[in-house]
Amino acid sequence: MAKELPNPSERLRIDRRTLIKASIITANLAPSVPLFDSEPVVSVITSSTASDSIRNVCANTSRRLAEIVRRNELRRQASLPLISVAQEFRRLKTIESSQDFANFAERFRSRVQTKVLARIRRQVGDGDWKPNGALQGMAFQNEVSERLRRVYERVG
């Protein structure tokens, strides 16, 4: 029997504080660096909730967090303001997701175009139908892009 995928509403949710704690633990920073105004890194590293949360972080998340912490350490050494872990994490995830979708679309665009074109030809009743003009071409490409996005989200 195939394993069922978890319901999206049941997925693990990590708040910003846990994300920052995980980044500190992942980077293994020195205990003297303050994490928050009132909480030193030592208490974060020794707390069981922080070590439990790091185990629930996937490899990509861990890699992104390590990169953010590395960049923040460089910025700290250069006396520059630190970047927000949450904002930078979101930016990196958006970039990687866009690149993943672009790679997916490049591989499957021609197949989806063929299927959409065949469906439109059946609906129109013209086996040689092709988009005429800019508006039909844009509508056709929009439908292809929407289908690619739906397939990409369904596949994962």
Q: Is residue 6 part of a domain?
A: no
**In whole angstroms, what is the distance from residue 82 CA to residue 68 CA?**
10
pLDDT value of position 8: 53
pLDDT for residue 2: 52
Is residue 45 domain-resident? yes
Local mean pLDDT, 10-residue blocks, the chain (156 residues): 53 65 60 45 40 61 88 92 90 91 94 94 91 92 94 88
pLDDT for the residue numbered 41: 41
Q: Residue 55: in which H helix or E strand, if any? A: helix 48-55
Q: What is the pLDDT of residue 60?
A: 81
Which candidate, 112, 120, 106, 97, places its Cα nearest to that of 144?
A: 112
**pTM greater than 0.85:** no
Query: What pLDDT, on a 0 to 100 scale, did the predictor assign at position 44?
Result: 38
Query: Which domain does 62 fall in, by range?
Result: 13-83
Whether residues 117 and 146 fall in one domain: yes
